[in-house]
Amino acid sequence: MASPSVTSSSVASSAPSFRVWALGGIPEVRAGDDLAKLIAAAEPGLVDGDVLLVTSKIVSKAEGRVVEAADREAAIDAETVRVVARRGPLRIVENRQGLVMAAAGVDASNTPAGTVLLLPEDSDASARAVRDGLRDALGVDVGVVVTDTFGRPWRNGLTDVAIGAAGVRVLDDLRGGTDAHGNPLGATVVATADELAAAGDLVKGKAEGLPVAVVRGLSHVVASDDEPGARELVRSAADDMFRLGTSEAVREAVTLRRTVREFSDEPVDPGAVRRAVAAAVTAPAPHHTTPWRFVLLESAESRTRLLDAMREAWIEDLRRDGKSEESIAKRVRRGDVLRNAPYLVVPCLVMDGSHTYGDERRDTAEREMFVVAAGAGVQNFLVALAGERLGSAWVSSTMFCRPVVREVLSLPSSWDPLGAVAVGHAVGVARKRAVREAEAFLTVR
Domains of the chain: 5-9+16-65+120-239 (3.30.1330.100), 250-441 (3.40.109.10)
User: What distance in Å separates the CA atoms of residue 238 and residue 425, rounded to the nearest whole number?
Assistant: 14
User: What distance in Å separates the CA atoms of residue 384 and residue 381, rounded to the nearest whole number?
Assistant: 5
57 neighbors 28 (Cβ within 8 angstroms):
no
Report, as an integer, the average pLDDT of 333-354.
89
User: What distance in Å separates the CA atoms of residue 131 and residue 147, rounded to the nearest whole number?
Assistant: 15
Which ranges of 168-268 does DSSP label H, i.e. alpha helix? Answer: 192-204, 246-256
pLDDT digits over 392-437, tens only?
A: 999 998 998 999 999 999 999 999 999 999 999 998 776 777 888 8
Q: Note the Cα 77 to chain centre separation in Å.
A: 19
Which residues partner with 85 through β-bridges?
92
CA-to-CA dists, residue 417 to 260, 274, 350, 382, 402, angstroms: 21, 18, 9, 16, 6
Predicted pLDDT at 280: 95
Q: At what angle do helices 246-256 and 360-387 cross, to 10 degrees?
A: 100
What H or E segment, with its residue span, contains residue 370? helix 360-387
Report, as an integer, the average pLDDT of 135-145.
97
Determine the 3-state secondary structure of 175 from DSSP: coil
Predicted pLDDT at 113: 81
| Closest by Cα among 200, 221, 219 to 3 | 200
| Closest by Cα among 40, 247, 266, 201 to 134 | 40
pLDDT band at 11 (very low <50, low <70, confident <90, very high): very low
Q: Write a three-state SS string for 63-77.
A: CCCEEECCCHHHHHH
Any residues with CB less than 8 A from the CB of 72 and at least 6 apart, and which? 103, 106, 108, 116
pLDDT band at 181 (very low <50, low <70, confident <90, very high): confident
pLDDT digits over 273-286, tens only?
A: 999 999 999 999 99
Report, as an integer, the average pLDDT of 64-92.
86
pLDDT of residue 48 exceeding 70, the answer is: yes
- In order, the DSSP letters of 36-65 are HHHHHHH-TT--TT-EEEEEHHHHHHHTT-
Predicted pLDDT at 1: 47
Which one has a higher pLDDT value, 434 or 340?
340
Predicted pLDDT at 303: 94
| Closest by Cα among 322, 88, 324, 57 to 201 | 57
**Size (the chain), residues:** 445
Which residues partner with 295 through β-bridges?
346
